[in-house]
């Protein structure tokens, strides 16, 4: 992305706070970007956890993606609701619009996963403009902000973890995101499969037994068959998740790197899903490689 590019902000999930949204838009504009905001970005309806009706949220997302002037689409915030849009999007029309960048995290995992399957484009798992790490009144969290800027230019340094659960090195297309969303997609058209991939996992506010249940569901559904490595992000408000993470994941016999500041909390580093990445437990890092092989899925 370059100064002068046009980006869009839409709300495919929960309703953003208007003040935070305004600050986040101003900070994107401070990068020299032209920001257009979806018509229904502050929408409301009878279900208060959704930013308006499903059809309106889907229309905003599709319109932004298909606008030839728009080079990237930022999701305003997470929450819940992105998965409800997957059957409402015209994937053929969006494929015809050509590649661009989707940015978001948490509930946006549903879109990351579907965009990889339907459009075959890398997407950026990163902070969102109506969230505190970008829109705090005192300013964006500096490490989060600088890493996002670098990631948008595909120049971000590797993300450092702080814990090795199983040593080794692995390369593969990076997939995954929020554990709850991945588990919820089991049995759907977008059933997860991490064969030949590195999988990123993170979550917020889940008790260890619930993490156990979701990992067990994914394991029994075959999602981890053929996985090459596992990168564990943040587990904010999840107590001590590491006993269950070790119990469920170490029998897979692949490198497992933990303590990556990716997901929730601060800082929030940005990583490209659907692009080639590598985890190296010797350097305790997750890196995007961006070689020609990233298209060899």
> What is the spatial distance between Cα 232 and Cα 241, in angstroms, rounded to a whole number?
11
Mention every residue, 6+ apart, whose C-beta is less than 8 A from residue 91. 118, 119
Q: What is the rounded CA–CA span in Å between residue 208 and residue 248?
A: 11
Residues 6+ apart with CB under 8 A from 213: none
Q: What's the half-sphere exposure (Cβ side, CA atoms, 13 Å) at 20?
A: 18
Tell me how many degrees the CA angle 140-145-149 measures, rounded to the nearest 5: 145
Tokens of 37: 């905001």
Query: Rounded to whole angstroms, what are the CA distances from 70 to 127, 147, 156?
Result: 19, 22, 22
Tell me the catalytic residues: 106, 202, 264
In DSSP terms, 197 is beta-bridged to 173
Two tokens, residue 241:
């998740």
């Amino acid at each position: 992305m370059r100064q002068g590019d046009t980006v869009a902000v839409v709300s495919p999930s929960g309703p953003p706070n208007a003040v935070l949204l305004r600050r986040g838009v101003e900070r994107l504009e401070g990068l020299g970007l032209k920001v257009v905001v979806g018509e229904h970005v502050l929408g409301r309806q009878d279900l208060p956890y959704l930013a308006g009706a499903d059809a309106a949220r889907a229309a905003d997302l599709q319109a932004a993606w298909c606008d030839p002037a728009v080079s990237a689409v930022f999701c305003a915030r997470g929450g819940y609701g992105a998965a409800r849009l997957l059957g409402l999007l015209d994937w053929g029309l969006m494929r015809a619009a050509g590649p661009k960048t989707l940015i978001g995290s948490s509930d946006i995992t549903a879109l990351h996963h579907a965009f990889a399957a339907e459009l075959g484009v890398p997407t950026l798992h990163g902070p969102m403009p109506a969230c505190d790490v970008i829109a705090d009144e005192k300013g964006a969290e500096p490490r989060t902000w600088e890493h996002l800027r670098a990631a948008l230019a595909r120049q971000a340094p590797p993300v450092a973890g702080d814990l090795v659960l199983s040593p080794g090195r692995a390369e593969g297309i990076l997939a995954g995101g929020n554990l709850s969303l991945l588990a919820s997609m089991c049995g759907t058209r977008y059933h997860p499969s991490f064969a030949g991939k590195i999988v990123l996992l993170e979550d917020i506010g889940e008790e260890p037994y619930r993490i156990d249940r979701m990992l067990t569901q994914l394991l029994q559904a075959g999602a981890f068959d053929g996985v090459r490595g596992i990168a564990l992000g943040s587990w904010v408000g999840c107590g001590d998740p590491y006993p269950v993470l070790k119990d469920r994941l170490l029998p897979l016999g692949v490198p497992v790197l933990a303590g990556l500041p990716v997901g929730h909390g601060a800082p929030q580093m940005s990583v490209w899903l659907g692009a080639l990445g590598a985890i190296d437990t010797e350097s305790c890092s997750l890196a995007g490689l961006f070689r020609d092989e990233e298209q060899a899925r």
